[in-house]
Amino acid sequence: MKKNRKLSLLMIGSLFLSAPLIAQSNFKLPDLGTSALQVLPLEKEKAIGEIMMMKIRSSSPVIQDPLLDEYLTSLGNRLVAHADDIRFPFDFFWIKNNEINAFAFYGGHVGVHVGLIAKSDSESQFASVLGHEIAHVTQRHLARRLQKQQDNAGLTLAGMVAGLLTTIVNPEAGLAIISANQTQSMLSQMTHSRGAEQEADRIGMTILNNAGFDPRASSEFLAKLSAQMRFKKKPPVFLLSHPLPDSRVSDIRLRAQQYEERFIDSNLEFLLTKSRIIARFTSTPEKAEQQFRMDIKKHQFSDRTAAKYGLALSLIDQKKLKEAEVILTKLLKSDPSNLFYLDSKTDLLLAQKNTQAALTLLKEHYQLKPNNQVITLNYANAAIEAKDYALAERLLKYFLLDKPNHPLGKDLMALTYKEQKNKSAYHETRASIMVDHGAFQQASDEVQKALNFIEKTDDIKRQRLKALLKQYRQMQKELAKL
């Protein structure tokens, strides 16, 4: 998808970040009160996870990139398929942060910093961290910690969400806040105990092995972090919430030796994902270009192919379109259906103002893979660039029937309605986005605006929006009590 549009669409919290195709919210606040949280049933854990996810969307640099999302979700679900005690669907998402870190919290949400994959030497290393975080969720380590704590009478849901959220997304800032407030009980909620880490190490390694990865990658990754500690004043961010005593490194190395050694090459999709992240999220286009040119000289086969792809991205972002076109033409010739290459080819064609060629290319692939998120969203974006708003609306409505909560799909839908001057639909869509961020007051304002543009004869839509307005206002009141 076109880079200049991505800059406005990729980060949660941008101006047009969603659209309303869900008329009613099924989310219900947990009845936890404002005192001790001694019992945390599954439904309450899920509700807390939803609140935290809303806060993350509204305040953190969450990346919405269909290619990256497909890879992360596919890899995460592959690991989850080999885990026990799955109580709810998992949700994997990217955070734009160059630090090596990943975190899991209530309700099966797993956040991954782009710095983790950028600095992973292999897919098995990257997967080992996801397996570890999945184990924290399946063993309900955070929930169990809450249940065991008996001296938390002053712990409110709002304080827990704010403190834990700050720490898992930005551990250094979170721990500074905790230190300033001298809230030792809160600190215990932010960091996993040694016992929890050992359990997550053991179960995570089993998940990793059963999913077909190299189990020894777990010890490789921890050894890598341990080595970094020797040369830095501050430990890697991951270790602020995942303690790493020397005994843990030894234990996991010994445990890894119980498994048969495997030599598993990283697949091309992992390498392309890593190149995309380096090109678009962890480096400047100029620095990325230099790195990929060096990698092309050093590597062979799939590593070199991924470096060429990364080079093409960095060239497109610098408007060096002719050289990028040469590279992408060769890549597409070798693999015409590769979604990474098709996405970048679309970027190139739109940068060249050749919207009709982009539409022709994507129409062909859309017929083969209808509603694939990478093809569909690129196709809709190209239609918007070509000012074919009827096509964009048709594509997005069909897409959002299947994926009603897709942030980027909703965002493009809102933009389409705006360009069509369909003000009622635009504001209703904006309201839906605000709900995704937990901003029920803003959502109410958007619904009120939508009501102002309803035809006087359209009583059904008017009544539906009034019901929605009432619901959002009630949700705002409930959140204010926390």
- The residue ranking higher by pLDDT, 391 or 457, is 391
| Whole-angstrom distance, CA of residue 310 vs CA of residue 57 | 28
pLDDT of residue 94: 96
- Any catalytic annotation for residue 201? yes
Q: Is 94 contained in some domain?
A: yes
How many domains are contained in the chain? 2
Annotated binding residues for Zn(2+), written as ranges, equal 132, 136, 197
- Any catalytic annotation for residue 478? no
**Tens digits of per-residue pLDDT, 256-296?**
888 888 888 889 999 999 999 999 999 999 999 999 999 99
pLDDT of residue 372: 96
Helix axes 459-481, 440-451, angle to 10 degrees: 160
| Contact in structure between 344 and 358 (CB atoms under 8 Å) | no
Region 308-318 average pLDDT: 98
Q: How many CA atoms lie within 13 Å of 307's alpha carbon, on the beta-carbon side?
A: 16
Q: Is 399 contained in some domain?
A: yes
**Tens digits of per-residue pLDDT, 139-171?**
887 776 666 554 454 556 666 666 666 666 665
Dihedral sign computed on CA atoms, order 28, 139, 93, 175: positive
- CA 79: distance to chain centroid? 17
Q: Is 317 contained in some domain?
A: no
Bridge partners, residue 95, by sequence: 62, 113
Q: Which of 45, 50, 123, 201 is catalytic?
A: 201
% of the chain surpassing 90 pLDDT: 56
**Tens digits of per-residue pLDDT, 206-255?**
999 999 999 989 888 887 777 766 666 666 666 655 666 566 777 888 88
Q: What is the mean pLDDT of the chain?
A: 83
Residue 38 — pLDDT band, cuts 50, 70, 90? very low
pLDDT of residue 259: 87
- For residues 251 and 375, membership in a common domain is answered with no
Q: What share of the chain is helix, strand, coil (3-state, %, to 5)?
A: 65, 5, 30
b/e map of 82-105 (b: 16 or more CB within 10 Å)?
Answer: bbeeeeeebebbbbbbbbbbbbbb
Least Cα distance to 105 among 51, 186, 149 occurs for: 51
Q: Is 117 contained in some domain?
A: yes
H/E/C letters for each residue in 448-461? HHHHCCCCCCCHHH
Q: Is 5 contained in some domain?
A: no
Range of the domain at 458: 365-482
| Contact in structure between 56 and 438 (CB atoms under 8 Å) | no
Q: How many CA atoms lie within 13 Å of 366's alpha carbon, on the beta-carbon side?
A: 23
Among 237, 256, 275, the domain-final residue is: 256
Region 331-352 average pLDDT: 98
Helix axes 339-351, 355-368, angle to 10 degrees: 160
Q: Is 293 contained in some domain?
A: no
The 3-state DSSP class for residue 111 equals strand
Strands (E) located in 81-154: 91-95, 102-105, 109-113
Bridge partners, residue 91, by sequence: 109
pLDDT of residue 252: 83
Among 256, 273, 302, the domain-final residue is: 256
Least Cα distance to 346 among 389, 383, 292 occurs for: 383
Placement of tokens 């969450």 in the chain: 62
The domain that holds 369 is classified in CATH as: 1.25.40
pLDDT of residue 187: 43
Annotated binding residues, written as ranges, equal 132, 136, 197
Q: Is 261 contained in some domain?
A: no
- DSSP state letter for 265: P
- For residues 392 and 245, membership in a common domain is answered with no
Residue 33 — pLDDT band, cuts 50, 70, 90? very low
The 3-state DSSP class for residue 121 equals coil
Q: Which of 65, 69, 133, 295 is catalytic?
A: 133
- For residues 372 and 246, membership in a common domain is answered with no
pLDDT of residue 24: 44
User: Quick check: 119 pLDDT over 80?
Assistant: yes
**Tens digits of per-residue pLDDT, 394-450?**
999 999 999 999 999 999 999 999 999 999 999 999 999 999 998 999 999 999 999
Type of residue found at 88: F
Among 256, 289, 324, the domain-final residue is: 256
User: Quick check: 113 pLDDT over 50?
Assistant: yes
User: Quick check: 23 pLDDT over 60?
Assistant: no
Q: How far is CA 243 from CA 236, 246, 390, 419, 476, in A?
A: 11, 10, 54, 51, 38
pLDDT of residue 109: 93
| Contact in structure between 81 and 127 (CB atoms under 8 Å) | no
**Tens digits of per-residue pLDDT, 171-215?**
555 444 444 443 444 444 445 566 778 888 899 999 999 999 999
- DSSP state letter for 13: T
Q: Is 350 contained in some domain?
A: no
Type of residue found at 165: L
